[in-house]
Structure 1
Amino acid sequence: MGHLTRRDLNASRERLRDQVAHALRAALISGELRPGAVYSAPTLAEDFGISATPVREAMLDLAREGLVEPVRNKGFRVTEVDDRDLDQYTEIRALIEIPVTGRVTRTATRDELEALRPLAEEIVRAARDHDLIGYLEADRRFHLALLGLAGNQRLVETVGDLRKRTRLYGLTALDERGELIPSAEEHLELLDVMLTGDAEGAEACMARHLGHVRSLWAKGERPAEA
């Protein structure tokens, strides 16, 4: 199961549960755990090399987030997200992230914005290195850190939850076609525009980026020959 084989998980039960949940989220996002498929805690536990209890607890955490759903006597089914769901999630993110990006452009200091540059560069580096999990994690941290400059933690939590529910299906195929790199480079472009103080330009850049991300989801859902 690829990166799910992690023998070095921390022995602390709470820490172990969190680590397993994080690894499973990564597998869901990358498509390693497929939408509609059912997975049992004991089977996943074998891949981790641990007992089934922390895996089952982690899956229950994911169920509360809407990422999986329990299937009686079988395990957990990965929640399927259709085009309508993706459109609605993207619309909500746009309603939040576009105006907040403009606001942050007007209010954040240059130092605060420059502090985001290492994350933007990490996104590009991960895309070029075909590090899918690193790409997704750096992307998440960049967007939430940018929103955090607005000073509203509840807003950050809301977008964080939306990101968990909008998984990039077929990410491996997109990576193989080199389509992740342009999306990754948009983070540097956005940051450069924000540093000029052009709030309207930053909003337009964020709008284009979110639209690009939605188009990637659509491509990732199609069969490879498409």
Structure 2
Amino acid sequence: MRLVPNSLHDEVAAQLRERIFAGELTPGTFLDELKLAEQMKISRTPLREALKVLTHEGLVRHEPRRGCFVNEVTEQDLDEIFPVIALLEGRCAFEAAQNASDADIAALEDLHDKLQRHAKAKRINEYYATNFAIHEAIIALAGNRWLAGVIGDLRKIVKLARLQQLHAPGRLEQSLSEHLAVFAALKARDAEGAEAAMRTHLTRQRVALRDLARSQRSRLA
């Protein structure tokens, strides 16, 4: 389908971003500008602008004289990013507990009910989507645009990794328990408890990813 010219490079960036998140463009993939431009029925100018956007977000890396590649998130990247996200999303949970209305809590309860159903049925992709919606709702309830902006940038980089950690043995059930702890604190308007529970949740995500990577290396050895 041909893209409309309005904010063309933003639309191109959005499409490429979704293809990366969907796993269609895997880490390390060379982004052939000519081929992509032909596929998307656009010129290379908006494509190059879109690639600059994705490079700024950390999803794409540019190598001089070689071109652009889908970025690969290293273990060191995850070690450095997750503690920062834990701090920031923890603060969001703190502020959300202070700001949430009864209607907000009711909406979060509906999302957590869905989360529990997906966990029980082992629907990992659906669980992740609901999990993502819960995190987004808590960030929105915090009402802090500075926190939201920084978290948004970091989450784009680790999005695929956060989905992968749910495949670690026992992680789905553990994640659900952590989410319910965050929600219980929010429901009680316990700001400090919500902050601590969210930080624990994010920290354990990193532990699960590290265990998963170690297990994968052992199988390949």
TM, length-normalised to structure 2: 0.73
- Decide whether aligned partners of structure 1 residues 19 and 117 sit closer, same or farther in structure 2, where only a CA change above 3 A counts: farther
Aligned equivalent of 2:16:
24
Q: Does 1:108 align with 2:100?
A: yes
Q: How does 1:80-99 map to 2 (within 5 A)?
A: 80-99=72-91
Choose from 105, 123, 126 the match for 1:129: 123
Return 5+ residue gaps in structure 1 as ranges: 1-8
Return 5+ residue gaps in structure 2 as ranges: none
Amino acid at match of 1:60: K
Deviations 1:77-135 (A, max 9, x none): 22233223212211212222223312322342221232334444555666743437x83
Counterparts of 2:84 and 2:50 in 1: how far apart (Å)?
A: 27
Amino acid at match of 2:155: R
Is the Cα–Cα contact under 8 Å of residues 170 and 221 in structure 1 kept in the other structure?
no
Q: C-alpha displacement at 1:156, in angstroms?
A: 0.7
Q: Number of aligned pairs?
A: 215
Query: Higher Cα Rg: structure 1 or 2?
Result: 2
Amino acid at match of 1:131: N
2:93 is paired with a residue whose SS is helix
Q: Does 1:148 align with 2:153?
A: no
2:142 is paired with a residue whose SS is coil
Q: Percent identity?
A: 34
- Decide whether aligned partners of structure 1 residues 176 and 92 sit closer, same or farther in structure 2, where only a CA change above 3 A counts: closer
Amino acid at match of 1:58: A
RMSD of aligned Cα (Å)? 3.6
TM, length-normalised to structure 1: 0.72
Is the Cα–Cα contact under 8 Å of residues 20 and 26 in structure 2 kept in the other structure?
yes
Structure showing the higher helix proportion among its residues: 2
- Decide whether aligned partners of structure 1 residues 172 and 97 sit closer, same or farther in structure 2, where only a CA change above 3 A counts: closer
Is the Cα–Cα contact under 8 Å of residues 31 and 171 in structure 1 kept in the other structure?
no
Amino acid at match of 1:135: Y
1:208 is paired with a residue whose SS is helix
